Amino acid sequence: MGDWWQRNIIEPGKLPLLLALTAFVVTFLVTRVITRLIRAGKGPFRNIETGAVHIHHVVPGVVLTVIGGFCAVAGGQHGFGAAVSAVLFGMGTGLVMDEFALIVHLDDVYWTEAGRKSVEVVVLTAALAGLFLLGFAPFGVNDLSDDELQDRGSVISTVLVNFLFALIALAKGKARIAIFGVIIPFIALFGAIRLARPTSPWAKRFYRRRPRARAKAQLRAFHHDRRWAGPSRKVQDWIGGAPDADRALERR
């Protein structure tokens, strides 16, 4: 275990990333537990308010992110300072991403249907950081051999091809596949060759005069959403809590 830790974490300089990812996930989970207790009126936790202003936890999150980021830039990849900076950055990012939906909507949508977006973004961020920790590089350059890495043409062509696939997948309304396709080689290829989502820019541009393709895309999207929407919602509710079904907004 000690040799593996030294060879795979310490020597490559991945300890700050591991600490930041751990702090990010732990902070998000602890925050969700606390907010759910506040929502249920249990425990010692209460909302923080200054007069009539409700202080969201995105505020201390921004402060911690700024402090951790600047300290990381000022320091190196090794030593106690780098570890502390990584933890502060991870904690701050966890608090900020937990209220990602608030930033998007500029409204307190934490316990509404729109608030699910925060959970999705947190899971996606943790997954991408985990891939970086495992050694995946953007655009699949990590999968090239030593000889190919010395050939600039191979590197550039690999980056461009993967980037093109990711752009097509994104235009087809498959954002998650596009994002993961940037990290894992040719994942975006599946999104690029399949039918676009009916509301995507690709469908609006290329399916406008193709009624059969448009109808097929709508049918496929309907079956996909019916198959996966339920399980996805259950996982999101388990992680972040179910939205309030009675009110459009509910202050924590």
What would the pLDDT profile of 1-16 be if each residue is shown by its tens digit?
Answer: 567 777 777 777 888 9
pTM of this prediction? 0.79
- Does the structure show a pLDDT above 50 at 250? no
For residue range 96-141, what is the model confidence (pLDDT) as tens digits? 999 999 999 988 889 888 888 899 999 999 998 998 888 777 766 6
Mean pLDDT along residues 139-159:
65
Contact 172, 202 (CB under 8 A): yes
Give the integer Cα–Cα distance in Å for 22 and 40: 27
**Does some domain include residue 248?**
no
**Does some domain include residue 75?**
yes
Burial-class residue 178 by CB neighbours within 10 Å (0-12, 13-18, 19+): buried
**Does some domain include residue 140?**
no
Q: What is the mean pLDDT of the chain?
A: 85
156 vs 31, more confident: 31
Burial-class residue 26 by CB neighbours within 10 Å (0-12, 13-18, 19+): middle
**Does some domain include residue 173?**
no
Mean pLDDT along residues 199-210:
90
Domain count, the chain: 1
Give the number of other CB atoms < 10 A from CB of residue 223.
10
Q: At what angle do helices 58-74 and 80-98 cross, to 10 degrees?
A: 150
Q: What is the pLDDT of residue 249?
A: 43
State which residues form the domain around 64: 2-135+195-240
For residue range 40-91, what is the model confidence (pLDDT) as tens digits? 888 888 888 887 788 899 999 999 999 999 998 887 767 888 899 999 999 9
**Does some domain include residue 22?**
yes
226 vs 88, more confident: 88
Portion of the chain with pLDDT greater than 90, in percent: 37
**Does some domain include residue 144?**
no
**Does some domain include residue 33?**
yes
Mean pLDDT along residues 210-234:
87
**Does some domain include residue 96?**
yes
- Does the structure show a pLDDT above 60 at 173? yes
- Does the structure show a pLDDT above 60 at 149? no
Contact 211, 188 (CB under 8 A): no
Mean pLDDT along residues 135-159:
66
